[in-house]
Amino acid sequence: MLQYVQKKNPKAQLVVVGNFWTDTYISAQSEILKKRVCAQKKVPYADLAGIANDPAYQRGLGAVIYDAAGTPHQVQEMAVARHPNDAGMAYIADRIVKQLHF
């Protein structure tokens, strides 16, 4: 995918973002591969290891989220609860911005 984007838009600034969840063998292995490819292709990598699987950066069960119409919903599924909360999104954004060259 990196080669495709680089070929289509050689001036694009690319940043590969690490996994927010690294609690499985597959996700741990994908991190290793992403880092290796980024090093080979000289593409910045935004590492999320500092917050991976940390509940302080996850939405959490019982949290209130809003749909596109502004209707509130309480998080009742763990798959949704594990997504980044505002602090998680801020951390991710910060890691990406630090890799960009303005």
Tally of structural domains, the chain: 1
Residues 6+ apart with CB under 8 A from 29: none
Closest by Cα among 45, 73, 77, 46 to 61? 77
CATH number for the domain spanning 12: value is 3.40.50.12700
**3-state DSSP of 20-87:** CCCCCHHHHHHHHHHHHHHHHHCCCEECCCCCCCCHHHECCCCCEEECCCCCEEECCCHHHHCCECHH
pLDDT in tens, 58-82: 999 999 999 999 999 999 999 999 9
pLDDT in tens, 14-61: 999 999 988 888 888 999 999 999 999 999 999 999 998 899 999 999
Q: Print the domain residue range for 27.
A: 2-99
